[in-house]
Amino acid sequence: MVVDMKDFNFKIFWNGLSKRERQQFADSANLTVQYVSIHLRYCSRSVSLQTAKRLQKALNTFGIELTLDQIADKFMK
């Protein structure tokens, strides 16, 4: 099921993860927990297309299916 980006809040998603789940998410996106916590949680940094694809894959592993366009709209400025 594809999630409507208007209904998805990455900060709430991230804050709801346990420490172990955060590490699993970061590992599956090939990012560090610190990078996700600082830059992605607050959408303070634009990501590359490659990182957007890795985010999409990581979100899919957690049951959040977003299109690449939705991720680009949120994280690529």
* Residue range 25-73, pLDDT digits in tens: 999 999 999 999 998 988 877 899 999 999 999 999 999 999 999 898 8
Q: How far apart are alpha carbons 77 and 75 in whole angstroms?
A: 6
Q: What band does 19 get if pLDDT is binned at 50, 70 and 90?
A: very high
Asked if residue 60 lies in contact with residue 3, where contact means CB atoms within 8 angstroms, the answer is no
DSSP state of 18: -
Q: How far apart are alpha carbons 16 and 75 in whole angstroms?
A: 19
What per-residue confidence (pLDDT) applies to 16?
94
Q: Could you state, in order of their start, the residue ranges of all structural domains in the chain?
A: 5-75
Whole-model pTM?
0.85
Q: 3-class DSSP state for residue 3?
A: coil
